[in-house]
Amino acid sequence: MPTDEEIRRAKEYLVLRLSAERLAVSSLDSALLSAARRIVAISRRYNIPPERFRFSADPQLQAEVRDVLALLRDALYNRIETIDTFNNDEDKDRPFVAPALTTPWKDKTFRQRLAEYTSRWGYEIEAVIAAAGLEGIKDTKAIESAIREYLDRPYDNPWVKDHMGEGAAVRLENIPHYGKGKPIASQAALALLLTTVVAKGWMQNWARLNAGKKGYYVFRGSSFPCEICDYQTSFPHDASDTDGLPPFHPNCCCYVVYTNDL
């Protein structure tokens, strides 16, 4: 079994990893709101009737919105690239997260998922703008305020709820759900994406820092019930078992203790 010192080091590393995850999402909302303001301003320049409003209704509008979404993706990607925080002076020139950005998980890379989630977020903004028009709301500040208030739950926006199935809001009918009909907002999906890729990068680095050890044990870092995590803690892992490294799911707080005493 691991020594007290090995467990202490692993816990300290978990604290650092979780801090890096929080740092990854600390500027997400401000980046989304900044992009939303630009999209609202761009959309207001085009006289598209609200019942017909979609970004694709005008090729130039669509191109401008795509540019904004591309800038948003670049900002979030660069944020993760530069978030590498280091455990000690020996690692100051070695990135933790960058290798995880290009490693696919479940057949998609970080950049592919980022493109998917930001595009879906664009549909949410499109629906709010269209629904505001159908409500007769023309004030830009009111639209921006509604986007801010419902950023993490756009499907609860009363304008969108009143006009679900009409115009641009049709796009929101085919959306992922948590279960029991609760939709996953793109803001939440992006936050989970950012924290997950940071966690993966940090755990890959933890394996590198413990190269030469025979294996490891997984310990729970949370009391939240989870059969997946409980299973991974039930047996020792060989050092080559990279599939046994957390995170096992979004917001996973499990930590890994490397040891020669299995």
- Please check whether residues 48 and 109 belong to one and the same domain: yes
Checking if the pLDDT of 47 tops 90, the result is: no
Checking if the pLDDT of 15 tops 90, the result is: yes
- Please check whether residues 172 and 229 belong to one and the same domain: no
Checking if the pLDDT of 254 tops 80, the result is: yes
Which residue segment(s) compose the domain that 136 sits in? 25-190
Q: Does residue 253 fall inside a structural domain?
A: yes
Q: Does residue 89 fall inside a structural domain?
A: yes
The pLDDT value given to residue 83: 72
Beta strands (DSSP E) in the chain are 177-179, 182-183, 215-219, 237-238, 255-259
Checking if the pLDDT of 65 tops 90, the result is: yes
Tokens of 79: 């944020």
- Please check whether residues 145 and 202 belong to one and the same domain: no
Contact present, 109 and 103 (Cβ < 8 Å): yes
- Spatial distance between the Cα atoms of 215 and 253, rounded to a whole number of angstroms: 19
Out of 190, 210, 234, pick the residue that ends a domain: 190
What does pLDDT average to over the chain? 87
Q: Does residue 232 fall inside a structural domain?
A: yes
Contacts of 28 (CB under 8 A, 6+ apart): 76, 187, 190, 191, 194
Beta strands (DSSP E) in 66-110 are none
pLDDT bucket at 161, cuts 50 / 70 / 90: confident
- Please check whether residues 118 and 241 belong to one and the same domain: no
Q: How many residues does the chain have?
A: 262
The pLDDT value given to residue 155: 84
Mean pLDDT of 147-167: 86
- Please check whether residues 107 and 233 belong to one and the same domain: no
- Please check whether residues 30 and 110 belong to one and the same domain: yes
Q: How many CA atoms lie within 13 A of 240 on its CB side?
A: 0
The pLDDT value given to residue 71: 97
- Please check whether residues 79 and 36 belong to one and the same domain: yes
Mean pLDDT of 16-42: 94
Number of domains within the chain: 2
The pLDDT value given to residue 178: 45
- Spatial distance between the Cα atoms of 98 and 202, rounded to a whole number of angstroms: 10
Tokens of 60: 């130039």
Q: Does residue 39 fall inside a structural domain?
A: yes
The pLDDT value given to residue 104: 77
Out of 190, 208, 229, pick the residue that ends a domain: 190
- Please check whether residues 250 and 165 belong to one and the same domain: no
Q: Specify burial of residue 195 (Cβ count, 10 A radius: 0-12, 13-18, 19+).
A: buried
Neighbours of 124 (CB within 10 A): 27
Checking if the pLDDT of 84 tops 70, the result is: no
- Please check whether residues 180 and 252 belong to one and the same domain: no
- What are residue 217's phi and psi, to 5 degrees? -115, 145
Q: Specify burial of residue 141 (Cβ count, 10 A radius: 0-12, 13-18, 19+).
A: exposed
What is the model's pTM? 0.86
Q: Which of 104-108, 173-177, 241-245 has the lowest mean pLDDT?
A: 173-177
| Per-residue model confidence as pLDDT tens digits over 182-217 | 557 899 999 999 999 999 988 988 998 999 999 999
Q: Does residue 219 fall inside a structural domain?
A: yes
The pLDDT value given to residue 238: 95
Percent of the chain past pLDDT 70, that is, above it, reads 87
3-state SS, residue 180? coil
- Please check whether residues 175 and 225 belong to one and the same domain: no
The pLDDT value given to residue 80: 83
Mean pLDDT of 238-248: 90
Checking if the pLDDT of 167 tops 80, the result is: no
| Most confidently modeled range among 136-145, 165-174, 196-205 | 136-145
- Spatial distance between the Cα atoms of 161 and 157, rounded to a whole number of angstroms: 6
- Spatial distance between the Cα atoms of 116 and 123, rounded to a whole number of angstroms: 11
- Please check whether residues 183 and 124 belong to one and the same domain: yes
The pLDDT value given to residue 173: 56
Contacts of 177 (CB under 8 A, 6+ apart): 183, 184
The pLDDT value given to residue 32: 97
According to DSSP, the residues that pair with 88 across neighbouring strands are none
Out of 162, 190, 218, pick the residue that ends a domain: 190
- Spatial distance between the Cα atoms of 188 and 47, rounded to a whole number of angstroms: 32
Q: Does residue 19 fall inside a structural domain?
A: no
The pLDDT value given to residue 102: 76
CA distances from 50 to 29, 145, 188 (A): 27, 19, 27
- Please check whether residues 68 and 174 belong to one and the same domain: yes
